[in-house]
A = this chain, B = another copy of it.
Amino acid sequence: MTEDRRRPGGRAARVAARAAGLERDLRPVRPGLTGGAYRPLTERDMQQVFDTALDLLANVGMGSPIPAFIEVVTAAGGSVDDHGRLLYPRHVVERAIETAAKSWVWHGFDEDQSIELADNKVHFGTAGAAVLILDHADQTFRHSSTQDLYDLARLADTLDNIHFFARPVVTREAADSRELDINTAYASMLGTAKPVGTSFFQPEHVYEVVEMFDIAMGGEGEFAKRPFVCANNTFVVPPLRFAVESAECMVAQVRVGMPINLLSAGQAGATSPAPLAGSLAQALAECLAALTGVNLLSPGHPCVMGLWPFVSDLRTGAMSGGSGEEAVLAAAAAQIANWLGLPSGVPAGMADSKIPDAQAGHEKGLTIALAGHAGANLVYESAGMLASLLACSPEMLVIDNDLLGAANRTIRGIEVNADTLATDVIKDVVYGAGHFLGHEQTLRLMQREYLYPMVGDRQSPDDWLDAGGLSVADRAHAYVTRVLETHVPMHVSRQADDEIRRRFPILLAGRP
């Protein structure tokens, strides 16, 4: 299916790995390494947050409930109160948690790229709805386009440490919500064979886009067999009120067998409480409301507990994605979803900085480290994002890939056994060569235990100056240029692509 899957940047590493006979399991990092060594909340903390969420659902419930949810929730024992709010008794929610899918496979268009959401398995990927792109050519902000989305997908397709691609930018030239939904799905699918995430404004677009996926995959019903697209469904207007059209999209997504990221994105101090614990409890309540609705409609439907509890800079009320408050809150969100046995998806890697500078770097480093080690099954927004999700940068995406690799290396952790404790090797060296540089063990572990950055530089100051004294953004810029010139994924066949272009209002120029 792939006519050309050149991966300019990762190629050297890949060739090296292959030369060393390194299968996927022997590489220093891979998708789905086990996190969970960082536990920001105690058992008692989690129980209290969970009890608060259940209390909120039972007594305050969700505003603006749609008929489909009212029907199943009241049939299960819920009710609608005098304010028109749908109340979820504790046992109804607990039953939904029991029936919910505890693990599922998010397929890639290329099956080798599929990832399994389970336990504390960690995956990093993109997401967002940035309206600005930091333009590759001139490094200024402009509105994002379908071409940008496709280019970001193509870039992500070449980056080993980005495991899934949910759309990071809005296709702003789309004339209406239908054109937007169709083109968002299309450009993402065409640009990468990795698992894809997209979103929908209207339920009818869900059905239409699945028709498109079926064509791409070779025929009617193919998508439902191997759904490679997960819907990012922002079903809630916090606090505790359904976004009606998104909730209706959710019902459609259940019907077509599309996995759903149940996405609650309150913002502490603005649309959720200022104390982080309350913000977490509210987000959990909201996600559980959706999980209950979905599982009553279709028990075991693949879902992500998409707790995206954002925080505000309380001086201005604006979102701060790169703060310490955000870092610990997202990590706690992952921990509590996993504690309930449910697949978790949280945001990290959002930077408040507007450009790929040291601020962006350390904001990403801190937030990604904690979300990953908390065991988030899906770390969303983890590459490319700037300006607290308002902007995306292709160069940042490439730089972040290095960070994600290093973070993954830390999640892999330290294997402790007789071989790695190396008592005999130490004795060899103490009584022999005096150093470990040429030792057989050192050479053996060079590709298995140690990961090397792609655009990160480790030269001495002199060598670095001789090589031009470039910043990592400069080096990433060169990588982006190379990939955008050469990498044209062909997993969607020309025939299928032609048919899609005949039937749908595709904005993107055709492939070369």
Which of B41, B324, B408 is within 8 Å of A405, CB to CB?
B324
Interface string of A436-464 (1 = CB under 8 A from B): 11010110011001111101111111001
Give, as a whole number of angstroms, the nearest-CB distance from A99 to chain B: 27
Interface band, chain A? 35 or more
From B241, B270, B360, contact of A437 by CB (8 A):
B270
Interface 0/1 of A233-264, CB less than 8 Å to B? 00000011100000000000000000000000
Contact with B along A120-161 (1 / 0, CB 8 A): 000000000000100000000100000000000000000000
Copies in the complex: 2
Q: List A residues 417-433 near B (Cβ within 8 Å).
A: 417, 419-423, 425-427, 429-431
> CA separation between A327 and B450, bound complex, in Å?
12
A458: B residues at CB distance < 8 A: 313, 316, 318, 320, 322, 352, 388
Q: Which residues of B are found within 8 Å of A37, using beta-carbon distances? A: 38-40
Collect the chain B residues with CB atoms within 8 Å of residue A114's CB: none
Contact assessment for A413 and B270 in the assembled complex, using a CB-CB cutoff below 8 Å: no
B388 contacts A431, CB within 8 Å? no
A269 CB–B CB distance under 8 Å: yes
Q: Judging by beta carbons under 8 Å apart, are A421 and B278 in contact? A: yes
Neighbouring B residues of A45 by C-beta, 8 Å: 414, 416
A181 in contact (CB, < 8 A)? no
Give the Cβ gap from A379 to chain B, nearest Cβ, in Å.
13
Contact of A399 among B314, B322, B359 (CB under 8 A): B359
Task: Determine whether A101 belongs to the interface, using a CB cutoff of 8 Å to chain B.
Answer: no
Task: Out of B324, B407, B452, B457, name the residue touching A451 (CB < 8 Å).
Answer: B324
Cβ of A340 < 8 Å from any Cβ of B?
Answer: no
Residue of B at shortest CB range from A386?
B461
The answer, yes or no, to whether A272 is at the interface (CB within 8 Å) is: yes
Residues 457-476 of chain A: 1 if any B CB is under 8 Å from the residue's CB, otherwise 0? 11111001100010111000
| Interface, chain A (partner B; CB < 8 A) | 37-41, 44-45, 48-49, 52, 55-56, 60, 63, 83, 132, 141, 239-241, 268-278, 280-282, 311, 313-318, 320, 322-325, 327-329, 331-332, 352-370, 373, 387-388, 390-391, 396, 399-400, 402-403, 405-410, 412-417, 419-423, 425-427, 429-431, 435-437, 439, 441-442, 445-446, 449-453, 455-461, 464-465, 469, 471-473
- 6 closest Cβ pairs, A-B complex: A365-B365, A361-B361, A324-B409, A278-B422, A324-B406, A275-B420
Q: Could you give 21 example pairs across A and B, Cβ below 8 Å?
A: A40-B414, A141-B461, A269-B442, A269-B446, A270-B436, A272-B426, A273-B429, A277-B421, A313-B450, A317-B437, A322-B458, A324-B405, A324-B451, A327-B409, A358-B471, A359-B456, A361-B362, A363-B406, A363-B456, A366-B368, A390-B461
16 other contacts beyond A269-B436, A320-B458, A357-B358, with CB at 8 A cut-off? Answer: A49-B416, A49-B421, A270-B437, A273-B436, A274-B445, A311-B450, A314-B442, A314-B445, A316-B458, A325-B409, A327-B409, A357-B473, A358-B471, A362-B365, A365-B367, A365-B403
